[in-house]
């Protein structure tokens, strides 16, 4: 049965337009091989939207994102917007976008194929074959908890979680584990924080209630950080709160040697959001050197979410084959190729996939 996906494309700032264009090119190439139509509509967001409309997240963009099947974001921000009032900065638009979509679960997969293991901060023998996902609660916790205050003499924030917030992110982690290797490590600080004690209680309850087939263990966040460095291949799915997830997902991203290869998805609301982990990298803008892998793999996550697993698998296979062939961008290899050349190499891999593969 044919399928049409309405995708709200937010290229954003810096290298965002370049990497989203590359991802779109690959996704369209794959879609042409299956009964799939990708209907792209581009909208201003972030700094580009500030320049065009005065706001980082214009109402027209909001409406389009909420009515789309998926939102595909490039990157936002840059020094030219750093001195704006905080309410009008690009990052404020990102928080508003997540809230508008109800995206409470951030998934960051980290995979280190043999072809990239030599780039890691860890020895290749320790990191090669790493395949983990950080499932981060995205809309609660200390970033949003009230009350909060900042005065010249005192400042405080509130790390607040409601049981229902923990329940829903736990379900996402357990369901993700069921599609992988069936193991969840829930990360908290239950020996110190009351919010973490509730977190652990609710995770255990959800596990007992509906996910006893999934292996569940618990770690304090400081130990989890150490174990990610010590033995990253021991992890499958890491479930954790907003603040801890922010830190651990960034730590995990160093395993692959470059932010340019790491995708992400923010799920759970009316419309899923997909974006590369990296920032806007203004110093690379317009030079045709940006690494599009993270954006391309974010496109694969989009297709998975849209029930197109074969197309998603083909994209991942073709990216892996391109990297394994030695074709890399300059962040991975000083003698690497430009963005457009790498993208075309991935597209050629797609073209070489037998027709029978797309009907599996």
Active site members:
143, 189, 222, 246, 250
Rounded-to-integer distance, Cα 84 and Cα 66, Å: 27
Rounded-to-integer distance, Cα 63 and Cα 58, Å: 9
Q: ∠180-182-185 over CA atoms, to 5°?
A: 110
What is the per-residue DSSP string for 207-275? HHHH-TTSEEEEEEHHHHHHHHHH-GGG-SEEEE-HHHHHHHHHHHHGGGS-GGG-EEEEESSSS-EEE
Question: At how many degrees (to 10) do helices 16-31 and 339-352 cross?
Answer: 10
* φ/ψ of residue 290, rounded to 5: -65, 145
Rounded-to-integer distance, Cα 319 and Cα 38, Å: 20
Report residue 302 as tokens: 């989009």
Rounded-to-integer distance, Cα 343 and Cα 25, Å: 8
């Amino acid at each position: 049965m044919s399928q049409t996906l309405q995708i709200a494309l937010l290229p954003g700032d810096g290298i965002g337009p370049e990497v989203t264009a590359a991802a779109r090119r690959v996704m369209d190439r794959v879609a042409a091989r299956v009964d799939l139509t990708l209907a792209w509509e581009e909208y201003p967001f972030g700094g580009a939207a500030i320049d065009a409309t005065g706001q980082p997240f214009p109402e027209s963009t909001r409406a389009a994102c909420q009515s789309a099947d998926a939102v595909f974001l490039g990157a936002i921000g840059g020094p030219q917007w750093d001195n704006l009032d905080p309410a009008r900065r690009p990052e404020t638009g990102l928080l508003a976008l997540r809230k508008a979509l109800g995206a409470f679960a951030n998934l960051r997969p980290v995979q280190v194929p043999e072809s990239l293991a030599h780039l890691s901060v860890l020895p290749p023998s320790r990191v090669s074959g790493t395949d983990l996902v950080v499932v981060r609660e995205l809309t609660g916790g200390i970033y949003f908890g009230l009350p909060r205050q900042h005065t010249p003499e005192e400042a405080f924030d509130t790390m607040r979680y409601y049981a229902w917030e923990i329940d829903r992110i736990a379900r996402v982690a357990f369901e993700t584990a069921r599609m992988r290797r069936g193991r969840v490590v829930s990360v908290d600080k239950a020996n110190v924080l009351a919010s973490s004690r509730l977190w652990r209680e609710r995770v255990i309850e959800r596990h007992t209630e509906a996910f006893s087939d999934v292996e569940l263990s618990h770690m304090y966040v400081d130990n989890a950080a150490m174990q990610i460095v010590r033995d990253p291949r021991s992890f499958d799915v890491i479930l954790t709160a907003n603040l801890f997830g922010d830190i651990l997902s960034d730590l995990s991203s160093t395993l692959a040697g470059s932010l340019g290869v790491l995708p992400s998805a923010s799920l759970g609301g009316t419309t899923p959001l997909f974006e590369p982990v990296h920032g806007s990298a203004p110093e690379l803008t317009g030079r045709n050197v940006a690494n599009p892998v993270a954006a391309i793999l974010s496109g694969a996550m989009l297709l998975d979410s849209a029930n197109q697993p074969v197309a998603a698998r083909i994209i991942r296979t073709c990216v892996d084959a391109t990297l394994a062939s030695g074709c890399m961008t300059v962040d991975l290899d000083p003698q690497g190729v430009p963005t457009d050349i790498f993208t075309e190499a991935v597209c050629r891999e797609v073209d070489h996939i037998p027709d029978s593969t797309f009907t599996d």
